[in-house]
């Protein structure tokens, strides 16, 4: 069996494969049973935004035989207004970071993480995040993201990697966990 390769996204083809994987895992297109059993992603990125994010800080991907089978999107604060559905997250995150005296923390946002269904339960999620940390910990103190509380699979997987909950809140009728993984 060919080895799974962890690397930074480099090509437009890899970016398109990220979008393809995102599309088949978007919450709006999944059944309730699939959402509960497999998890989901909440945000659909455009190619333009995904590419600009990648140009600024290349995304982390897992590939098998040249195909993207997992990704962890690197999202700098500079892109906070480029994905309209994430603007409330950034505003809420700013208030929590200030209230918890974390304003001096140099962090980036996990823009989204997803593993192809055929490759789940093989440790790829954990190894993807380990590679993420190895690649980025010299430039950042932590990574912050939000997980929909209904996405139990994702919430548990993030805690297993080392994330802890900063806060829980409701936005647009959905409960969200604001989580952080401190590296220093």
CA distance 109 to 107: 7
Task: Count how many domains the chain has.
Answer: 1
Choose among 113, 55, 49, 112: nearest CA to 81.
Answer: 49
Residues 12 and 42 sit within 8 Å (Cβ to Cβ): no
Please state, rounded to an integer, the average pLDDT across all residues of the chain. 90
Torsion region of 112: left, alpha or beta (phi above 0 gives left; psi -120 to 50 gives alpha): left
Could you tell me the CATH number of the domain that includes residue 20?
3.40.630.30
Going along the chain, which residue ranges are E strands?
4-8, 60-64, 67-75, 107-115, 142-148, 164-171, 174-182
Q: Where in 45-163 does DSSP place strands (E)?
A: 60-64, 67-75, 107-115, 142-148
Name the residue range of residue 145's domain.
Answer: 4-182
CA separation (Å) from 92 to 10, 36, 45, 61, 95? 32, 26, 21, 28, 5
**Measured distance CA(178)–CA(106) in Å, rounded:** 16
Q: Per residue in 66-105, pLDDT tens?
A: 999 999 999 999 999 998 888 888 999 999 999 988 889 9
Q: Average of pLDDT values for 19-43? A: 73
pTM of the predicted protein model:
0.89
Q: Tell me: the pLDDT tens digits for 120-133?
A: 889 999 999 999 99
Confidence tier at 35 by pLDDT (50, 70, 90): low
**Burial class, 101, CB count within 10 angstroms (exposed 0-12 / middle 13-18 / buried 19+):** exposed
What are the tokens at 143?
């990574």
């Amino acid at each position: 069996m060919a080895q799974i390769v962890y690397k930074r996204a480099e090509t437009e083809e890899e970016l398109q494969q990220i979008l393809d994987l995102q599309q088949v895992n978007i919450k709006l297109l999944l059944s309730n049973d699939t959402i509960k059993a497999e998890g989901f992603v909440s945000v659909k990125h455009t190619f333009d935004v995904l590419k600009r994010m990648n140009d600024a800080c290349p995304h982390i991907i897992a590939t098998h035989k040249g195909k993207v089978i997992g990704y962890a999107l690197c999202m700098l604060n500079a892109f906070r207004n480029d994905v309209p559905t994430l603007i409330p997250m950034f505003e809420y995150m700013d208030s929590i970071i200030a209230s918890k005296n974390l304003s001096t923390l140099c962090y980036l946002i996990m823009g989204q993480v997803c593993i192809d269904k055929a490759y789940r339960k093989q440790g790829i999620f954990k190894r993807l995040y380990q590679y993420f940390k190895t690649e980025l910990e010299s430039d950042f103190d932590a990574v912050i993201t939000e997980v929909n509380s209904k996405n139990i699979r994702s919430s548990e997987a993030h805690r297993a990697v080392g994330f802890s909950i900063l806060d829980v809140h409701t936005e647009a009728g959905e409960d969200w966990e604001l989580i952080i993984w401190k590296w220093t």
